[in-house]
Structure 1
Amino acid sequence: MQKEKLWTKDFISTSIVNFVMMLSMYLLLVIMAPYATDQYDASASAAGLVASIFILGALTGRLFAGRQIERLGSKKMLIAGIVFFVVVTAGYFISAGIYFLVLIRFLHGIGVGLATTATSTIVAQIIPRSRNGEGIGYFSLSVVLATAIGPFVGLTLIKYAGYTSVFIFSLLMGMISFIIALPVKAPIVEHTASADTKGFKLSNFFEMRALPISIVMLIVSLAYSGILSFITSYAQEMNLMTASSYYFLVYAVIVFISRPFTGKLMDNRGSNSVAYPALVLFAIGMFMLSQANTNFAFLLAAAVIGLGYGNFQSCAQALAIKVTQPHRMGLANSTYFICMDLGLGVGPLALGFLVPLVGFKGLYSSMVLVILAGIAAYYLLHGRKDKETSPSFNPASSK
């Protein structure tokens, strides 16, 4: 039996647009705090606000996109998000004080939230259902690559050409995204609005079927936020700065190599075949990181965490889409990313209070417990009934 086609023109174009948008996000994320300090003499807390307010903007954009994408269509939402992104990016060239910069960061986050919710929805609609895990695995590599390349590009541009070059690069990325997105043909999913979709209801902003796995993602991403926020400080304390500069590169390479295999495994054997091993590996990698005393041990932990968190991330997104009706895929993607962003955004604030009490080694050791809580949550919220959504499940045989 011939496999349904995955690598279509629209799939490739949408993945590239997502990569370019996320590249712009991550290259700005790492330079905004030092930019606020250098340009406006901002305090540490104000500089942190400039960097983190972006996440709040992205959450706002996802909430709006998740609800409106059914009515407007994913293609219109994508174009609107990119145009908004480009217009707001031009605001970085205006020097009008720290509060204006905070506003630009918030609005920039909204643009990225709108556009990336649309790209995820378009991809979910065009991927063959039989290759859902594999397709999401490949698509989400665009985020992994952006995570690894973005900070490197941003820091390199600052070093050789200054902050303005970063804003120019980001603006160009937005324009390129617009050009690539124009020819994309998003499927038209027919859906008639009902009385249930009117008024303020939780189900109008979140996809309830996708919420359980999204809650698990919130817990797991909270643990991962400790790495994003404190890995450089930890490496500096342990005198492992050489290894830290390669941490995300090793992480990205391992995820890039493993994702195609884990995606196919999920499609063929069900989500549990990927989720449980991935979460266990994440816990092991986190413990290894807490005990690392050499560059090799530090980077080995990065590789194990890549196999763990990196693959659970795409597995969870694929699950959120798999359990959702086609016309609710926009809300499913929005629900998933809102929970993940909450974990990554709230995590640093909460964990920041823990560092003075237990230190960085104690922080990463305690994150193992958070991951174990994530495993328990996965079992309770999805794992024990995953058989019902696996390709081999036969309802008649379960009676």
Structure 2
Amino acid sequence: MNASTKPQEKLWNYQFIYFLFLKVFSISSITISNSILPLYIVDYYHGSSSQVGVISSLVILTALVFRPFTGYLVDRWGRKKALMISFFLMSLLHFSVLIPMRIEGLGIIRFLLGFPYSLFTTATSTVSADILPEEHRSYGFGVISIITMLSGVVLAPNLGFILLGNGNFNLIFIISGISALLTILLVLRMPYEDIQNPEAKFSFNTTFEPNASFIAIILGLILLGMPGLLTFGPLYSKELGITSVGLFLLFYGGGLLVAQWLNKYLIDLNNPRRGGILSIGLLLTGYSAIGIFNSKFGFFVGSGLVGIGYGLVFAIFAPMALRLVKPSKRGACNATIIFGQDIGSFLGLYLFSWFIQNFGGYQRSYLMNGLIMAIPLGIFIFFCLPHYSRVLKEEPQLEKQIE
């Protein structure tokens, strides 16, 4: 290993603040174009809701295929090199959308985009684990997750909707491409002593972390619901007569902020039962509320509850998984839990599209999303928590990784 990163005890140091800025800028360059993609498919190509689901899911499909390799590559190449390669490729693909093509061509670009996207998400998650002080890891992950989601899911998409105007789709793709190139410069100047292991050999142990398997399954099932909100939310807004299609994201973002406030009161990695149950329960309640109340009020309230739920989820489960592994396996651990999220996001797009076609629209589809959340809740209570406690008892040195 060429270098090692020793987190400073203070959380809000220059390194952490710089990384937050890099994460916000980088994720915004991706989501500003992702947010307008459903409208681009429907308005520009006159596509259907099923085509929106298929094309949107292609990036997740390739990310899913490539994900098992990303933990190995991040550990072998180093985090910085992995990030620079990913953003260079994403920039090329964003600019490629400007070339006149049929809807099948757009699908191919989305398919290829999954490769650098999966490398980017694994690398940034691993940098997060590297730089966070052990005693502030859960809170730090909560801060990173919520600020990232506020910028990537609320601010950037709304900026995209504003800049889109009456159909300025090319402007959005140009902004995404330029932003990806600028992110490479930010990575080069990042105050971070990189970690890499050129001696790492490709094997099952360098691509998958068994101790994180239950958490990966839970996150996958939880992420089944997210495409229904983030991908189909703008289309549901139109159906409800909401003039600003991104308005529901403000309520979602408000929920994320509430989750950050609740974080310090509810999350205890020594006893994550209460926080885990509440986070998944809020998702169940929020999605069900959107489905039961077919109205603007129900959509906004449900979006807020879902925001609180996801804000708590990402502050609890990733730190739980990282607590179960040694620092040298953080890349594989992150790849494992993100692999689960990829599966959930990918299947969620198809599942929600199928719900729309077979249950008569968005209302019942959101209700089904809510009912599905009972499955990860059960897995968390009856399988994940006992496994988590058993691993920490069998390997007491892991228990010392947090306060």
TM above 0.5, one fold?
A: yes
Give the aligned partner of residue 383 of structure 2: 381
In the comparison of the two structures, how many residue pairs are matched?
387
**Displacement of 1:143:** 2.8
Match of 1:128 among 121, 126, 133: 133
Amino acid in the other structure paired with 1:171: G
Normalised TM-score (structure 2): 0.84
Is residue 75–residue 185 contact of structure 1 (8 Å, CA) maintained in 2? no
Normalised TM-score (structure 1): 0.85
Give the aligned partner of residue 181 of structure 1: 187
- 1:163 matched to 2:169: yes
Is residue 289–residue 297 contact of structure 1 (8 Å, CA) maintained in 2? yes
- 1:213 matched to 2:215: yes
Is residue 225–residue 343 contact of structure 1 (8 Å, CA) maintained in 2? no
Give the aligned partner of residue 353 of structure 1: 354
Give the aligned partner of residue 281 of structure 2: 280
Amino acid in the other structure paired with 1:154: G
- 1:344 matched to 2:345: yes
Match of 1:16 among 14, 18, 21: 21
Is residue 211–residue 325 contact of structure 2 (8 Å, CA) maintained in 1? yes
Amino acid in the other structure paired with 1:15: L
Amino acid in the other structure paired with 1:375: L
Segment drifting more, 139-148 vs 38-47: 38-47
Query: Distance in 2 between the 1:56 and 1:256 partners?
Result: 30
Is residue 242–residue 295 contact of structure 1 (8 Å, CA) maintained in 2? no
Query: Distance in 2 between the 1:377 and 1:347 partners?
Result: 18
Amino acid in the other structure paired with 1:250: F
- 1:149 matched to 2:151: no
Query: Distance in 1 between the 2:118 and 2:194 partners?
Result: 21
Is residue 76–residue 196 contact of structure 2 (8 Å, CA) maintained in 1? no
**Displacement of 1:56:** 2.2
Please show how residues 365-376 of structure 1 align to structure 2 within 5 Å: 365-376=367-378
Give the aligned partner of residue 109 of structure 2: 104
Query: Distance in 2 between the 1:192 and 1:61 partners?
Result: 20
Match of 1:87 among 85, 88, 92: 92
Please show how residues 291-370 of structure 1 align to structure 2 within 5 Å: 291-359=292-360, 360-370=362-372
Secondary structure of 1:95's aligned partner: coil
Give the aligned partner of residue 256 of structure 1: 257
Amino acid in the other structure paired with 2:274: S
Query: Distance in 1 between the 2:357 and 2:257 partners?
Result: 35
**Displacement of 1:327:** 1.3
Query: Distance in 1 between the 2:190 and 2:261 partners?
Result: 24
Match of 1:75 among 76, 80, 95: 80
Segment drifting more, 92-101 vs 77-86: 92-101
- 1:289 matched to 2:294: no
Query: Distance in 2 between the 1:37 and 1:310 partners?
Result: 30
Q: Deviations over 1:232-270 (max 9, x none)?
A: 454555x35258642111111221242254157424753
Is residue 268–residue 275 contact of structure 2 (8 Å, CA) maintained in 1? no
Secondary structure of 1:174's aligned partner: helix
Query: Distance in 1 between the 2:45 and 2:12 partners?
Result: 47
Query: Distance in 2 between the 1:40 and 1:361 partners?
Result: 26
**Displacement of 1:49:** 3.8
Query: Kindly, what percent of the aligned residue pairs are identical?
Result: 24
Secondary structure of 1:87's aligned partner: helix
Query: Distance in 2 between the 1:27 and 1:350 partners?
Result: 24
- 1:29 matched to 2:29: no
**Displacement of 1:333:** 1.5
**Displacement of 1:37:** 5.6
**Displacement of 1:27:** 1.8
Query: Distance in 2 between the 1:185 and 1:56 partners?
Result: 33
**Displacement of 1:346:** 1.0
Amino acid in the other structure paired with 1:319: M
Query: Distance in 2 between the 1:345 and 1:92 partners?
Result: 22
* Structure 2 unaligned blocks of 5 or more: 1-7, 398-403
Is residue 158–residue 166 contact of structure 1 (8 Å, CA) maintained in 2? yes
* Structure 1 unaligned blocks of 5 or more: none
Is residue 214–residue 336 contact of structure 1 (8 Å, CA) maintained in 2? yes
Q: Check 1:371–1:167 CA distance in 2 against 1; reply closer, same or farther (3 A cut).
A: same
Q: Check 1:141–1:389 CA distance in 2 against 1; reply closer, same or farther (3 A cut).
A: farther
Query: Distance in 2 between the 1:182 and 1:378 partners?
Result: 40
Q: Check 1:52–1:294 CA distance in 2 against 1; reply closer, same or farther (3 A cut).
A: closer
**Displacement of 1:48:** 4.6
Is residue 35–residue 231 contact of structure 2 (8 Å, CA) maintained in 1? no
Segment drifting more, 81-90 vs 263-272: 263-272
